[in-house]
Amino acid sequence: MFTPRPGFPLGDIPKAYAAERPEAVAVRSGEDQLTWAELFRASGEIAQGLAQSGVTKGRIVPLALPNGVDVVAAAFACLRLGAVPQPLSTRLAPPEEEAILTLSDPAVVVGLDPGTPEGNGRFRATTVAELRRQGAGGGDLVTEVGPSWKAPTSGGSTGKPKIILSGAEGAFNPFDMEAWGLRPGEQSLVTAPVHHNAPFSTAMTTLFNGGTVTLLRRFDAERVLAEVEEHGITWVYLVPTMMRRILALPEKTRDRYDLSSLVSVWHCAEPCPPATKQAWIDWLGPDRIWELYAGTEAQAGCTISGTEWLAHRGSVGRPTWGEIKIMGLDGAPVNEPGVPGEIFMRVTEGKPPAFRYIGAETEERDGWSTLGDIGEFDADGYLYLHDRRSDMLLVGGVNVYPAEIEAALTEHPHVLSGAVIGLPDPDRGNRVHAIVQIEEGRPTTAEEIDAFLATRLSPHKRPRSIELVTTPLRNAAGKLRRSALRAERLSST
């Protein structure tokens, strides 16, 4: 049975599995699916088309495609050429799209509409169908191992976009497999858009290891359970917002589905409210619930099982790879447990860099860099997060962490999500303002939520104003854009 070894070219993965089990399903999405033989043929034709479009080894190829079989085939085509796949949202605002493509400088953009000028007309667009037509009947390509296997983007809607070029080349590396607990032959369900790093990485890693990946075209709480039962899903990726929406289903609906195939449910991307995590542990058992904490940069990271979490409630785990330390806000190292500071990370000494920025500079102190998160270790070496340093509020001379307030908000049964920001206050410097997403049609009031928080938060942490909305505060990957929400409210005053 074929098992890729370290250094095996990722572009040859479809060929290897197609030779061994051509009719086995590799990827499915909705009514569409590709067997390994079909994925090998499709990725080869797309690679030929990309080569004829000027794509060469090391070039970034933007893939502005939704979740589906095409984005997987196109990603493998890039890897076949030694090029770097860059999954992008199909809903980028024109200025953001232009900024990202300017950094990528692609020979061609793979999208949904043929001939559509991308990036304010500076870049040529094509489609998967056109590339396959163009590349059909071409000769066999020599597979190249590119300098990087992915190029996710970050910071588009809240600041200047940047590309986070992976430091891992386009050859098999067991790192992602081990970090995410993905076993060979896994039946994975990816519920979020693959233009985000974690969904793309886990979908592709499933395939690198000979598994089958099911991609949801759009998140639907009951559909997740139906897919698990229908396809015998063993591994699933969620974000806490999705976890809450699944829990919100009537109990009889959740009980309707057989989830016995599930081995592990992984979540990341945003802090998980303790009440939500406890409910999932009570439902599926602690051994199935896992969490990963890391940045897209992947210098270091933590994982934690549900069993560990019960003993260290609220933790994101102990470092699993790389090195993590806490630095005080005064710049001095924090060596005592229970003392918060800024979290710094670096790769294990002697390892190559985990990433390289395009469009930004890496800020390091002796090889250590930070994502801006505030946290602390306990006496057992488990890490606890407070918030981002940039989101921390100084209210009357006291540090207030929005994530703590947001976690309390989401314990309310009618609250789907919450965003806490600071608005100018002439007396206290910042006024804590909560933007609360409630369920459509619920008669929830700001006064009711304030009373709810009064039993959970100290007086100085309670919001001075509460705004109720029914529109989502997070994107499909669970990311909360506090700075954008704050800017909107400042501009309207």
Residue 294 has pLDDT above 80, yes or no: yes
Q: Is residue 464 part of a domain?
A: yes
Residue in the block written with tokens 């667009």: 125
What's the pLDDT at 329? 73
Residue 60 has pLDDT above 60, yes or no: yes
Number of Cβ atoms within 10 Å of the Cβ of 360: 15
- Residue 270, burial from CB neighbour count under 10 angstroms (0-12, 13-18, 19+): middle
Q: Is residue 127 part of a domain?
A: yes
**Residue range 199-217: average pLDDT?**
97
CA gap 131, 51 in Å, rounded: 10
Q: Is residue 276 part of a domain?
A: no
What's the pLDDT at 455? 87
Domain enclosing residue 130, as ranges: 10-173
CB-based contact 2:185 (threshold 8 Å): no
Give the model confidence (pLDDT) of 440-469 as tens digits.
Answer: 888 899 999 999 998 888 787 899 999 999
Tokens of 282: 């009570």
Residue where a domain terminates, one of 173, 207, 240: 173
- Give helix then strand counts, H and E, for the chain: 15, 26
**Residue range 416-437: average pLDDT?**
86
Maximum Cα–Cα distance across the chain: 73
Give the model confidence (pLDDT) of 132-157 as tens digits.
Answer: 999 998 778 999 999 999 999 975 43
What's the pLDDT at 240? 85
CATH for 404: 3.30.300.30
Least confident of 10-19, 193-202, 359-368: 359-368
CATH for 44: 3.40.50.12780
Q: Is residue 361 part of a domain?
A: no
Q: To the nearest whole number, what is the mean pLDDT of the chain?
A: 90
Domains in the chain: how many in total? 2
The helix or strand, by DSSP H or E, that contains position 43, with its residue range, turns out to be helix 36-52
Which of the 8 DSSP states describes residue 348? Answer: P
Tokens of 366: 């002796």
Q: Is residue 67 part of a domain?
A: yes
What's the pLDDT at 372? 81
Which of the 8 DSSP states describes residue 4? Answer: P
CA gap 44, 419 in Å, rounded: 45
CB-based contact 189:225 (threshold 8 Å): no
Instruction: Name the band, by pLDDT with cuts 50, 70 and 90, for residue 52.
Output: very high
Instruction: Name the band, by pLDDT with cuts 50, 70 and 90, for residue 396.
Output: low
Instruction: Name the band, by pLDDT with cuts 50, 70 and 90, for residue 204.
Output: very high
Q: Is residue 478 part of a domain?
A: yes
Q: Is residue 387 part of a domain?
A: no
Residue where a domain terminates, one of 145, 173, 201: 173
Residue in the block written with tokens 């979290």: 343
Q: Is residue 75 part of a domain?
A: yes
CA gap 406, 478 in Å, rounded: 13
What's the pLDDT at 231? 98
CB-based contact 74:65 (threshold 8 Å): yes
Residue where a domain terminates, one of 129, 155, 173: 173
What's the pLDDT at 373? 86
CA gap 49, 276 in Å, rounded: 47
CB-based contact 133:55 (threshold 8 Å): no
